[in-house]
């Protein structure tokens, strides 16, 4: 059994709506339903009376609801106790950050913040975008840094969650350089000779962004998928080894581009506009407003960090307007 199954069930018991609970839990309704079914299978009994509408609990469900509340309370008490016993030398802010940003953006961003606030004790969880957001919703972290694009927005209720836009991140196609210094592969390629394509897995956020680029490209891209992974760093390594074309965030390839080992394929030429296969995402910071009202040292530090970031964002925006 998984803890999130209990949280799903408690949500359903309180909302009496699969669709509303799925929305609150930030997953699709079919996925939410499967998790409730998995809980029922583990318990060996039905918790939901599916013969009536609106949704209601079975007698077993009513009994288990009280038990689920008690178990969740014990879990959260245990987590609070262990966090206090974890040996952290001082208040520690917990972040959830997508893998790519954890390696490229986060270290430099934290350096700027520490220049204003002094040394900050942090704990970082490198997760995919979905799991990073879910960890904030479930109270597992204090702050989330993640990508955002209007085609695939992060569905957090603004009445509950604060957001700051920290910057932007373009994603473009790259190829290894040949010995002559030119790109080993070029786009858009052709039906007769499609370019080997290094792809993200379908559930990866950057994979969805790549799908948007391909779908909205001004000309058709002929791609032959030869490799798939959910890690941008994995695609970068394969691209550097000459296995094909990969769509990569610019922050992940700055060093390789500067050294001439990777070449951006839509830089623009005499007959081709620049950026035709590029998409720009926001980099955003999120927090739970309710959690940020706490009085412990960690929450006080998280509020100070949020205020410092907000001041930095406002300063940059003011400079942009003045310029």
**The domain made up of 3-85 is a member of CATH 1.10.10.10:** yes
Q: What is the pLDDT along the chain (323 residues), one digit of tens a residue?
A: 788 888 889 989 888 888 888 888 878 888 888 899 999 989 989 998 876 667 889 999 999 988 888 888 888 777 766 666 555 456 889 999 999 999 999 999 999 899 888 999 999 999 888 888 888 887 888 999 999 999 988 878 888 899 999 999 999 999 999 999 999 999 999 999 999 999 998 888 999 999 999 999 999 999 999 999 989 999 999 999 999 999 999 999 999 999 999 999 998 765 567 889 999 999 999 999 877 665 577 888 888 899 989 988 888 778 777 76
Q: What is the pLDDT of residue 127?
A: 86
Residue range(s) in the chain whose domain bears CATH number 3.40.190.10: 92-164+282-322, 169-280
* CATH number of the structural domain 169-280: 3.40.190.10
Tokens of residue 198, six digits: 């290094």
SS3 4: helix
Sign (positive or negative) of CA dihedral 93, 97, 99, 103: negative
Q: What is the pLDDT of residue 253?
A: 96
Q: What is the pLDDT of residue 232?
A: 94
Tokens of residue 44, six digits: 């060996």
Q: Which helix (H) or strand (E) holds 114?
A: helix 105-117
Q: Which of 172, 167, 104, 160 is nearest to 133 (CA)?
A: 160
How far is Cα 151 from Cα 154, in angstroms, rounded to an integer? 10
Pairing between strand 92-98 and 245-249?
Answer: unpaired
First to last CA, the chain: 56
How far is Cα 249 from Cα 168, in angstroms, rounded to an integer? 10
User: Which of the four CATH numbers 3.40.190.10, 3.40.470.10, 3.30.1960.10, 3.30.1330.50 does domain 92-164+282-322 have?
Assistant: 3.40.190.10
Residues 313/166, Cβ–Cβ less than 8 Å: yes
Q: Which helix (H) or strand (E) holds 26?
A: none
Instruction: For residue 74, count other CB atoms closer than 10 A to its CB.
Output: 10
Q: What is the pLDDT of residue 286?
A: 95
How far is Cα 160 from Cα 28, in angstroms, rounded to an integer? 20
Residues 194/222, Cβ–Cβ less than 8 Å: yes
b vs e for 182-212, b when ≥16 Cβ sit within 10 Å of the residue's Cβ?
Answer: ebbbebbbeeeeebbbbbbeeebbbbbbbbe
Q: Which of 241, 240, 262 is nearest to 250 (CA)?
A: 262
């Amino acid at each position: 059994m998984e803890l999130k199954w209990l949280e799903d069930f408690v949500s359903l018991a309180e909302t009496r709506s699969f669709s509303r609970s799925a929305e609150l839990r930030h997953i699709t309704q079919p996925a939410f339903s499967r998790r409730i079914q998995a809980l029922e299978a583990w318990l060996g009994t039905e918790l939901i009376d599916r013969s009536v509408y609106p949704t209601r609990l079975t007698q077993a469900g009513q009994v288990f609801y009280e038990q689920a509340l008690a178990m969740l309370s014990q879990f959260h008490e245990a987590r609070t106790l262990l966090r206090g016993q974890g040996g952290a030398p001082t208040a520690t802010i917990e972040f959830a950050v997508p893998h790519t940003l954890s390696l490229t953006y986060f270290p430099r961003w934290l350096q700027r913040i520490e220049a204003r606030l002094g040394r900050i004790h942090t704990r970082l969880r490198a997760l995919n975008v979905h799991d990073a957001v879910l960890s904030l919703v479930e109270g597992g972290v204090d702050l989330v840094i993640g990508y955002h694009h209007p085609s695939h927005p992060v569905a957090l209720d603004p009445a509950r969650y604060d957001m700051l836009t920290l910057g932007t991140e373009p994603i473009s196609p790259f190829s290894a350089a040949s010995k002559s210094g030119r790109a080993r592969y070029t786009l858009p390629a052709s039906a007769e000779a499609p370019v080997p394509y290094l792809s993200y897995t379908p559930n990866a956020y950057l994979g969805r962004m790549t799908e948007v680029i391909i779908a909205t490209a001004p000309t058709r891209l002929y791609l032959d998928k030869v490799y798939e992974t959910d890690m941008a760093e994995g695609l970068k390594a394969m691209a550097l080894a000459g296995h094909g074309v990969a769509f990569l965030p610019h922050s992940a390839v700055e060093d390789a581009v500067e050294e001439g080992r990777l070449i951006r394929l839509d830089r623009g030429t005499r007959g081709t506009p620049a950026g035709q296969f590029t998409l720009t995402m926001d980099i955003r910071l999120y927090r739970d407003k309710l959690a940020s009202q706490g009085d412990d040292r960690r929450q006080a530090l998280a509020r100070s960090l949020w205020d410092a970031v907000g001041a930095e964002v406002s300063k940059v925006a003011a400079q942009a307007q003045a310029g």
